Amino acid sequence: MEYLEKQPLTEQVIIRLLRGEDLPALEWGGEYRHFRRLYADIYRSACQGKALMWVAELPDVGIIGQVFVQLSSGRRELADGVRRAYIYGFRIQPAYRGVGIGGRMLQIVEEDLLQRRFLFVTLNVARENVAALRFYQQHSYQVVAEEAGEWSYLDDTGRRREVHEPAWRMEKALTQRQS
């Protein structure tokens, strides 16, 4: 009997832009249902060319990762629509963390931003999320400021939710990859 070497998980994952029919899968079986309206708003921005929504899809499993990119914002220090873009909502399902999917996803997003002529990317990471801070530092992001981390959104029932999550603002200068 011949045994075929199984393809590494990171190579099985398809990283692509989100399609409208993918929106329910972002809720991860109800865990993020409260973000339903927020996801729909981001999708509308993506359709207008103001944002990007990336997903990591594992065939026969579904969406296992997501990351959103705001191309322009009222806060120009985060995203100015020309040189600086803002990454947020970056998550990989726990069962698939630590195997390189997040790093590959981040690389694809950064390469896409370079093609769009962006020079910098910013993001906020919760101060208490040490693992995420370390992940971004390993990918050349540097802390540049403190953020209050105060924002609000309408949940799936229409109730306003206030979020207080003190964060570090991180930044990276994008450069062409060396061959």
> Is residue 54 in some structural domain?
yes
pTM of the predicted structure, to 2 decimals: 0.91
Q: Could you list the residue range(s) of the whole structural domain that residue 15 is in?
A: 11-173
Domain holding 138: CATH number? 3.40.630.30
Please report whether residue 179 resides in a domain: no
Query: Is the model more confident about 10 or about 71?
Result: 71
What is the residue type of 120?
A: F
- DSSP symbol at 92: E
Residue 4 located in a structural domain: no
What does the alpha-carbon distance between residue 18 and residue 71 come to, in Å, rounded to a whole number?
16
Give the pLDDT of residue 6.
Answer: 62
Is residue 178 situated within a structural domain? no
Tally of structural domains, the chain: 1
Residue 168 lies in a domain: yes
Write out pLDDT tens, residues 73-120.
Answer: 999 999 999 999 999 999 999 999 999 999 999 999 999 999 999 999
Backbone dihedral region of 8: left (phi > 0), alpha (psi from -120 to 50 degrees) or beta? beta
Q: Which two tokens stand for residue 21?
A: 């029919």
The strands making up 14-17's β-sheet, listed across from edge to edge, are 14-17, 51-58, 62-70, 84-92, 120-126, 167-173, 142-147
**Residue 11: what pLDDT?**
80
